[in-house]
Amino acid sequence: MARNFKELRAKMDPERRARVEQRVTEALKAMPLDGLRDARDLTQTQLAQVLHVSQGAVSKVERRTDMYISTLRSYVRAIGGDLQIRAVFPEGDVLIDQFEDLKASSKSNPRASV
């Protein structure tokens, strides 16, 4: 018999629930693009339609280890997010805003960079 997740979660020991929530939080801090797309319940085909590219182009982007910032920004926007670039130092993080001009160009032509 299938059980409702909320019911199961409610019966969990609070300490165990906290450990699970911590693991989920940690897992969401770093994720490959295909995992991020999956987490947003999108297929490559659906994302390709939003980006006006082929499914194969989406697959290539997800396998790349090096790409243009505009390509990554278009991908992230297509799945409902916004891309920020930060430099991380022991003293704190710094938002690098040099790429803010890319926002206007990627909004006006989303397929230009994928």
pLDDT digits (tens, 9 = 90+) for 20-40: 888 877 777 788 999 989 988
pLDDT digits (tens, 9 = 90+) for 47-101: 999 999 999 999 999 999 999 999 999 999 999 999 999 999 999 999 999 887 6
Backbone torsion region of residue 111, taken as left when φ is above 0, otherwise alpha when ψ lies between -120 and 50, otherwise beta: alpha
What is the per-residue pLDDT for 31?
A: 87
Whether the pLDDT of residue 107 is over 60: the answer is: no
Q: Spell out the domains of the chain, with CATH numbers in brackets.
A: 32-108 (1.10.260)
Side-chain half-sphere of 56: how many Cα atoms within 13 Å? Answer: 0
pTM: 0.66
- In degrees and rounded to multiples of 5, residue 48 shows phi and psi of -60, -40
**Six-digit token pair at 12?**
């969990």
